[in-house]
Chain A
Amino acid sequence: MSQLQPQSQLQGSAEEPLLNIQQMQFWLDKAVAWGQAERPDSQKDTCLHLNRLRDFLQRLLTHINCMSSTTETMKTLPFLGQFLGRLCWNPYVTADATGRKLLFQCLWSLYSEHPGNAVERKANQWIQKLFSQLATEEEDVAAQAFMKHMNVPPHEYHLKVLRKMVAMLQENIGKSCSSSSSMNQRCSCDRIQATSEACVPLITCPEAAPLIGALLLQSMTCVRATLSEDFLDALSSAYLSQCLSLEEQAVVSLWYHNLPSLEETVLRLLECAQTNSQSTPQKLEQLLTQSLLPKACAQHCSIFLVVNDIFRSFLKQAEGNEPVKSLIQTFTCCFLRELALQQQQTRVSLKAWFPQSPQRLLVPLLTLPSEMPEDAWRRHLNWLSRSLQRLTEEEEEEEGDEDSSSSASIEGHHTVFEAWFLLVQCAHWLQVAVQLLVTPGPEDGGPLLWLLTFYHHPTNRGHHRAQQLVVEGSGLADEAASLLSSLELKLNGGSCSSGAANRVHLRIKALRNTLTHTQAASSPAENQAHTLTL
């Protein structure tokens, strides 16, 4: 084989070299070091390098695939065989699904379907032998003899041993836990970090799942049970790529300890809500319950606060995003339900969960319409509308007041935003408002309409809100129209007296006509405001 220049670069793509000889040497040295006597250091080192090793193997694979033949590959990387061979016998590499996959793919890429020379024939033989040994060789002679005498197939035996190990380790977790909240006291949970570090290659191993779950749960119980960062990161990426399943409480623990996994879950939910904007409230609810997010939030205030922050930042950029607003409303509903279940044991004040919301609006908004007699609804909504109007007026005053400091007006903005955000979370009241608007009655629908407009346009451009009722061409009219249709359906299926039903039908028809007229009369230009009198 030809000698290589120390600085030779191996081109994978036109621009950057994919591999260089130093990298190969680095990893070869690592592989040799890891293979020597099993010391806890080499174990730790392997786990620490697992991610980077995977990247390197990927680049190696690409490089091999770029070569036209194995002979050429072996010329460029003479120690490749040794390197791959050593890694095959490293359990930390082979236990990990991705590492194992890449390793095998590298070997297959080196296999020549039609070997052209002795080198390639030899490589083929070596590869075949390696696979055979990996799958069938038994290093433990005593175990082999035992299996033979007991007539136990090897795969069954190894599976049983693995399950037993997992069970033993799982049992030991939390066994001698002193459960104290003090960091100064010694506890068997001191070992949790080392155990979690060692489990990094096993995250995608289904048999190890009970152990991983136990580690996650213990970390919530004892303050000394800290999990290694590598473990949490690996767990997070495996969970998000849906490579593993965890039981409920383990997922909650993961979110609690690893912010990226929580963020990613929330972002995915938001994405889902936007792409399936037609989905019914029931479907949304199902989606949310399955995600376990409401439950997790009910168990841990910190999780709830993070989730809400993500919702907030989303809405600050797109306040008109209806699917997202629906999601937030359904989410809050599910959350409150879970919270009620949780709080049967402990009572935590609402302020802890909604620290930024205007306090006097909390209970009024969070109370569900079902928790109040129907005839009180209008009064309640009127009160809500007036309170919110006052808030916005205060903010506008501060804005208009030239002497006010900028911080006061920012605070004013902030309060209005928080009030609006709370309204979005409690949008069940909006539905009641719309329902009341279409019911025949002498009461003034003004406050209710204001509420609706505020919901859709919290940032009041042009100060029209106080003076006129502004309805944008599409948004609110469409919503009102669809609500009217669904009301009508309900009426048709419902058990109203024919007289009352007829009156409502007529009213609905009248409203619909008005809406259609307004829409038809509107010009297609953006930002056209129309007044709607009811």
Chain B
Amino acid sequence: MEAVLRNLRSTAELLAVASLSCEVEQWDKQTLSRAFHWARYCEILFSRFHNNTAIRRTLEKHLQLTNQSLVATFPGYTEVTFSDLSRCQHMLLVGLLNNPELPISITKILFDTGGPINTKQSDYQDVTSFCSRIIQCKSACKVLSPLTGLSAVGADAEVRGLMLMERLEALLSQGGEARSTEHFLDSVLQGREGEAEHFCVVIAAALLTTKDSAAKTASQEFLLDWLQTKNRLLQHMCSALPITHIINLAKEHRKFKDAYYDVLKKWASDMEFSITEGEWVQTSTNQTAMSYCKLTEHFKALFSACPSLREHVENELNALKISDGDFDVSGLSVWGDLLSAINS
């Protein structure tokens, strides 16, 4: 443990030197390789111990002490948290490339696009061409992404969905508290207003990953339960995603189907008939935008995809229509109009 703590301290110092000191002027290829080696070491430390509360706490404390002393030594030093260690190589790279004293020779090593291409899958073990490979990877994604336009979920959403499920599974399998897992989901899947659509796609992708184990099913159930407490997000999902996508989700998960149906009913109940427009419109502005036309599409799609639900929905809509006065004239009961639209 002593050795680990020493190494941790050394790497934090290394990061400080890399980004803030002019010592980098003296760096050569060997120094560079060693630096990245230690950064990788810290990444491994993180993956090994981030779930081990006891060890994690020790490491965090030690890191805090290191930070304090480094702040004193290096003006402008940004503290390194334990979580940051998971991306230690990236931090090292950012520090180095933004250090004005970095010699061009080091840049050349990092961005070297050398001779015969290494035909093995990149394993990032060699510091030479580290950056060249990153750029190649990012550019390749951009080149390929227009071609994947035909798939319902983008590759990046799918990858994020998969990563999310893996993490969720790991958290749940540790027997951790449900609250902390919920907090995790809160932090990952919520953010600024404009990003809501983005989260929707990720959640959809996560829920559509194949259920090939009990653990996976449990994780998906957990996610669904969490989702049901986030009404705005759920509504956003149902309005932003393509209907076929939502129907796929509904077919896969009963909980989602029920939640989706509830959302549709909520939208319908908030609608009012507008004489001027000759159409049903939303009343409250405090919810996701939805047109009557689109709403009927949703109901129709749900109907045809889930025959088991059909009878129940029909009866319920009918009951609601009756409670509205049971008129067969359009414009008086949203339920009546919906029923006739569905059955047409």
Contact = CB atoms under 8 A, between A and B. Distances in A.
Interface of A: 38, 40, 43, 91-92, 94-95, 97, 100-101, 104, 108, 111, 113, 125, 128, 131-132, 134-136, 140-143, 145-155, 157-162, 164-166, 168-169, 172, 194-195, 198-199, 201-202, 204-209, 241-245
15 contacts: A40-B146, A91-B142, A134-B131, A135-B131, A155-B90, A158-B138, A172-B150, A195-B147, A198-B144, A198-B146, A204-B117, A206-B121, A207-B137, A242-B116, A243-B117
A171 B304 CA distance: 29
B255 to A, nearest CB: 24
A150 B164 contact: yes
Nearest to B138: A158
Contact of A131 (B89, B100, B120, B131): B131
Contacts of B120: 206
Contact of A207 (B107, B121, B146, B150): B121
Contact of A162 (B102, B140, B146, B188): B140
Contact of A136 (B90, B108, B124, B132): B90
B63 to A, nearest CB: 15
Contact of B147 (A146, A162, A198, A201): A198
Those 4 A-B pairs whose CB atoms lie nearest each other, nearest first? A151-B86, A91-B142, A95-B139, A132-B97
Contact of B198 (A142, A195, A201, A206): A142
B119 A150 contact: no
Interface of B: 43, 46, 50, 83, 86-90, 93-94, 97-98, 100, 102, 104, 107-108, 110-111, 113, 116-122, 124, 130-148, 150-151, 155-156, 158-160, 163-164, 167, 187-188, 191, 195, 198, 202
A436 to B, nearest CB: 49
B112 to A, nearest CB: 8
Contacts of B88: 153
A157 B166 CA distance: 14
B146 A131 contact: no
B123 to A, nearest CB: 10
A151 B48 CA distance: 13
A104 B111 contact: yes
Contact of A149 (B93, B110, B187): B187
A151 B143 contact: no
Contact of A150 (B122, B151, B188): B188
Nearest to A195: B147
A243 B115 CA distance: 8
Nearest to B142: A91
Contacts of B195: 141-142, 145
A158 B87 CA distance: 13
A222 to B, nearest CB: 18
Nearest to A132: B97
Nearest to B198: A142
Interface of A is mostly: helix
B134 A158 contact: yes
Contacts of A140: 156
Most buried by A among B46, B137, B145, B150: B137
Contacts of A148: 87
A168 B156 CA distance: 11
Nearest to A164: B155
Contact of A128 (B50, B100, B118, B158): B100
Contact of A165 (B130, B131, B148): B148
Given A108-B108, A194-B147, 14 more contacts: A43-B146, A92-B139, A94-B136, A104-B113, A108-B107, A113-B104, A131-B97, A136-B94, A149-B188, A155-B133, A157-B159, A159-B122, A165-B144, A245-B119
A94 B46 CA distance: 32
A143 B199 CA distance: 10
A206 B137 CA distance: 10
B135 to A, nearest CB: 6
A153 B108 contact: no
B43 A95 contact: no
B29 to A, nearest CB: 16
B15 to A, nearest CB: 14
Most buried by A among B104, B108, B146, B188: B104
Contacts of A172: 150-151
A136 B143 contact: no
A362 to B, nearest CB: 41
A80 to B, nearest CB: 18
Most buried by B among A43, A159, A172: A159
A422 B314 CA distance: 82
A146 B160 CA distance: 8
B86 A161 contact: no
A206 B122 contact: yes
A155 B46 CA distance: 17
A128 B144 contact: no
A258 to B, nearest CB: 20
